[in-house]
């Protein structure tokens, strides 16, 4: 392939070049991967309604999330084990995201410590994605460390009471290397360096009451990640969360749920202006981000596109993927007749209407 010119090119290059026993973990979804495919396809069912003769000489892609300025409405989604794709792992992603002026949401399953990531990020904004594990003290220690290391919000993932069954991993025999550091899963005790299944146990008994516990312990704004229904959106808002992330974990948990873009409008309507709403899943283009904004998201997040950049080019690869997406967002805004993300509204999109070709 010639030089990659979009995020999908990076994913294609990664699929061709990374060991299939490793890339399957990044690429795959759960079960028959119906939801994985639905996520990306959902963007194709909306089309733009651009407005003409609008002065777009000055365009900004900048916005804020929970009051934090970011260069664009596209953030880095939390995904596990960057160290499998590049030697400096999360540090490469942290530097690239900070350089791009956008926010890095760091997974609990990071291969680098929060202190090291904070140093690599500099002033770059960061949120911590939190898994509540069965050993609650471990979760409390993790929250305290995140606060000390300057994370400005906690993203509590709620769609993983049990781990989804990812069949590509089973077929290709994906294994977490025993020497891969996972400081918030295995700890630093070498006796714990066994399998993730043994030591990474999210708490299946987590309920709304625990959300209050997390919020009180963290003293940080809490975003719930993995909300897919109006009912849970309303409950989240009633519990005073700062944000809700409409997500199906990139199709890696319950296969057969709605594409996240399809679930977005009902969650947006249910929460009203009580908290911010974000969406992830299937973002490959700046235009996808603009459709998400039109349907009510404050920002979108990308996992696999960033992973593709990291796998192909390390820090420079992530930087390129983020700059390609930012440029697509800017161009899309201008061609849509908008000068900022805030101007994108429901009037800028409509569902694609199926029609019969004349006989
Ligand atoms: C390889 C991989 C690992 C992931 N690890 C986590 C994780 O540790 N915590 C989490 O909340 N979500 C995790 N996710 C889900 C992402 O945060 C996000 O919801 C998803 O990647 C969005 O879909 P996209 O990859 O199509 O952009 C992971 C996703 C992938 C692809």
Q: What is the pLDDT of residues 103-114, one digit of tens each?
A: 999 999 999 999
Q: Tell me the C-alpha distance between 254 and 79, whole Å.
A: 17
The candidate with the shortest Cα–Cα distance to 344, out of 124, 49, 83, 104, is 49
Encode 136-169: b = buried (16+ Cβ within 10 Å), e = exposed: eeebeebbebbbebbbbbbbbbbbbeeebebbbe
Q: How far apart are the first and last CA of the chain?
A: 40
Q: How many CB atoms within 10 Å of residue 21?
A: 13
Mutate to test the pocket of ligand 1, among 14, 79, 185, 257 (most ligand atoms within 8 A of CB): 79
In the predicted model, residues of the chain with pLDDT beneath 50 are 193-198
Q: What is the CA(339)–ligand 1 centre distance, in A?
A: 31
Q: What tokens appear for 98 in the block?
A: 């900070």
Query: Which residue, by CA, sits nearest to atom 15 of ligand 1?
Result: 249
Residue 130 near residue 155 (C-beta atoms within 8 A): yes
Mutate to test the pocket of ligand 1, among 38, 78, 174 (most ligand atoms within 8 A of CB): 78
Residue 312 near residue 17 (C-beta atoms within 8 A): yes
pLDDT of 189 reads: 52
Query: Which residue, by CA, sits nearest to atom 3 of ligand 1?
Result: 79
Q: Tell me the C-alpha distance between 274 and 276, whole Å.
A: 7
DSSP strand pairing (276-280 vs 243-246):
parallel
Q: What tokens appear for 246 in the block?
A: 């409409």
DSSP strand pairing (74-76 vs 222-227):
unpaired
Residue 264 near residue 280 (C-beta atoms within 8 A): no
The active-site residue out of 142, 249, 320, 348 is 249
Q: What tokens appear for 278 in the block?
A: 């974000």
CA distances from 234 to 153, 159, 230, 269 (A): 20, 16, 6, 9
Residue 94 near residue 72 (C-beta atoms within 8 A): no
Residue 347 near residue 40 (C-beta atoms within 8 A): no
What does pTM read for this prediction? 0.96
Q: What is the CA(80)–ligand 1 centre distance, in A?
A: 7
If you write DSSP's letter for every residue of 286-300 in order, what string do you get? HHHHHHHHHTT-SEE
CA distances from 51 to 60, 67, 299, 336, 345 (A): 17, 29, 22, 6, 12
Among this protein's residues, is 142 annotated catalytic?
Answer: no
Instruction: Decide: helix, strand or coil at residue 64.
Output: strand
The candidate with the shortest Cα–Cα distance to 116, out of 126, 101, 129, 103, is 126
pLDDT of 221 reads: 97
Query: Which residue, by CA, sits nearest to atom 29 of ligand 1?
Result: 79
179: buried, middle or exposed (CB in 10 Å: 19+, 13-18, 0-12)? exposed
pLDDT of 195 reads: 46
pLDDT of 188 reads: 53
DSSP annotation of 358 reads P
CA within 13 Å, CB half, 167? 8
* Size of the chain in residues: 359
Q: What is the CA(58)–ligand 1 centre distance, in A?
A: 34
Query: What residues flank ligand 1, with Cβ below 6 Å?
Result: 25-26, 39, 77-80, 107-109, 129, 157, 225, 247, 249-250, 252, 280-283, 302-304
Q: What tokens appear for 150 in the block?
A: 């300057």
């Amino acid at each position: 392939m010639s030089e990659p010119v979009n995020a999908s090119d990076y994913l294609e290059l990664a699929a061709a070049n990374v060991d299939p026993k490793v890339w399957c973990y990044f690429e795959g979804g759960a079960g028959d991967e119906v939801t994985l495919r639905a996520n990306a396809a959902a963007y194709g069912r909306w089309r733009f309604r651009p407005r003409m003769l609008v002065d777009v000489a000055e365009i900004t892609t900048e916005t804020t999330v929970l009051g934090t300025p970011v260069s664009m409405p596209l953030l880095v989604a939390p995904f596990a084990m960057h160290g499998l794709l590049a030697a400096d792992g999360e540090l490469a992603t942290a530097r690239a995201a900070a350089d791009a002026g956008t926010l890095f949401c760091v997974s609990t399953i990071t291969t680098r410590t929060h202190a090291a990531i904070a140093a690599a990020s500099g002033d770059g904004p960061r949120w911590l994605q939190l898994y509540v594990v069965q050993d609650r003290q471990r979760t409390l220690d993790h929250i305290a460390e995140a606060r000390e290391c300057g994370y400005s919000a906690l993203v509590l993932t709620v769609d993983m009471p049990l781990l989804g069954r990812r069949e590509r991993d089973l077929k290709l025999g994906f294994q977490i290397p025993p020497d891969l550091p996972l400081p918030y899963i295995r700890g630093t005790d070498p006796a714990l360096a066994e399998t993730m299944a043994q030591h990474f146990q999210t708490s299946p008994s987590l309920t709304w009451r625990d959300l209050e516990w997390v919020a009180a312990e963290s003293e940080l704004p809490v975003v719930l990640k993995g909300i897919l229904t109006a009912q849970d959106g309303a409950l989240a808002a009633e519990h005073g969360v700062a944000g809700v992330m409409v997500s199906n974990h990139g199709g890696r948990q319950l296969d057969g749920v709605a594409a996240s873009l399809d679930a977005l409008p009902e969650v947006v309507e249910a929460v009203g202006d009580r908290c911010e709403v974000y969406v992830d899943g299937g973002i490959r283009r700046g235009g996808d981000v603009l459709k998400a904004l039109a349907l009510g998201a404050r920002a979108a997040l990308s996992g696999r596109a960033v992973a593709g950049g990291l796998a192909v080019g390390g820090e420079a690869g992530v930087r390129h993927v983020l700059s390609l997406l930012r440029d697509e967002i800017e161009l899309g805004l201008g061609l849509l007749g908008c000068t900022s993300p805030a101007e994108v509204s429901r009037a800028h999109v409509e569902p694609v209407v199926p029609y019969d070709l004349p006989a």
